[in-house]
Amino acid sequence: MYVYETLSEAINGLRERGFVTDFNLQENCLVCANEKFNIADFEIVEVHRFEGATNPDDSSVLYVIESTKGHKGILVSAYGVYADSMSEEMAKKLSLHPGH
């Protein structure tokens, strides 16, 4: 498992490892370049959490994703009070790796 100190370090390291697609979260799917990925169309391969240094509201989570179509990329999301809204199914999918 890779360990990163900051979100920017993680993004740069993952880009070097081939995770170049930027996924965006919608209520029940991920989207990139006008292509939708339903819950069954991708797997979370790593999860990295980052705490805000001075403000807990600045916390974020970085999901490392591989799609069934071969896309490798990342999804950056806030968590806590400002977490993105999503369906219950998507929330379950993204919480499958709580120990990371």
* pTM of the predicted model over 0.85: no
* Cα–Cα distance measured from residue 84 to residue 39, given in angstroms and rounded to the nearest whole number: 16
Predicted confidence pLDDT, tens digits, the chain (100 residues): 788 989 999 999 999 999 999 999 887 889 988 899 999 999 999 999 888 666 655 688 899 999 999 999 999 987 644 455 677 888 888 875 544 4
Count other Cβ atoms within 10 Å, centred on residue 79.
Answer: 13
In the chain, domain spans: 7-94
pLDDT at 77: 84
Residue with tokens 């970085």: 62
* Cα–Cα distance measured from residue 65 to residue 83, given in angstroms and rounded to the nearest whole number: 19
